[in-house]
Amino acid sequence: MITSFPRVELFQTEKRTLFSKLIGQEYQLSVRWPGFPEPTQKRFPVLYVLDGDTFFGLATSLTDYLDNVPPTILVGIGYDMHSWEEWLERRETEFKIPEVKDAPTDSHADQFLAALKQEIIPFVEANYPIDPGERSIYGFSSSGFFVLYALFHEPGLFRRYIAGSGDLDIAYPFMIAHDQQLLSRKKPDPIDLYMSLGELEENSLQPFHQLADTIRSKKYPGLRLISEVFTNETHSGGAIALSYIHGLRKCYQPGV
């Protein structure tokens, strides 16, 4: 018989529960205060980490040690899952839409984006000292696809969009067909988009470069694109960590 013990806790973190009326489901928000905050800083940048059940721990371990990234409040958006199978099923439903290849018929990225905008972000900013002009979002794989989806449908919601290996084979044709919001921005405040891919993700290399080339050629108002292919990396843990580290660093580095 295996004895069960309490979960391991992370420094300077707290868990908040939020029920989304728009989706009809509960979210677990894992919040971490900056490890080395500036004494005079009253409001902080915020980074929303998608797939919080798996990526929040990585983010808390790395963020404070990224030299050019300011002290940042981290918010992991998760579901308090207890198995990989549950997590994989939920994320495909949450981050995709039926219009893209192989997505679940009940997928609802549009509803999740609405819940993020109307429920999750207002809740976080009502309870924590957040600078609303300094929001960032990170995702990888299916949640990387959602980061791109959010950019093309709500380009003013975040200041920085960090998308690692965002299912580019389905992302490229869909995003380019739905770029009206980016093209017609009336108030083009600066936006940084970081996209990355592992060199060995062969099926995604061509659409990755196609999407990057199209974004650069269209010159969307206020948008700065930073794209990167990681040598000898697959769709794996190495690419997850690199996309997070490089994405944050380069989005905060002017002129990259």
pLDDT per residue as tens digits for the range 77-103: 999 777 888 888 889 999 999 999 889
133 φ, ψ (degrees, to nearest 5): -85, 0
Nearest-CA neighbor of 225 among 246, 205, 251? 251
Residue 113 has pLDDT above 80, yes or no: yes
Residue 101 falls within a domain, yes or no? yes
- Across 27-41, 146-160, 195-209, least confident range: 27-41
- Domain range enclosing 78: 14-251
110's tokens: 């549009």
Domain count, the chain: 1
Residue 183 falls within a domain, yes or no? yes
Nearest-CA neighbor of 231 among 195, 200, 185? 200
Residue 1 falls within a domain, yes or no? no
CATH number of the domain where residue 182 is located: 3.40.50.1820
Beta partners for 13?
32
pTM for the full model?
Answer: 0.94
Residue 65 falls within a domain, yes or no? yes
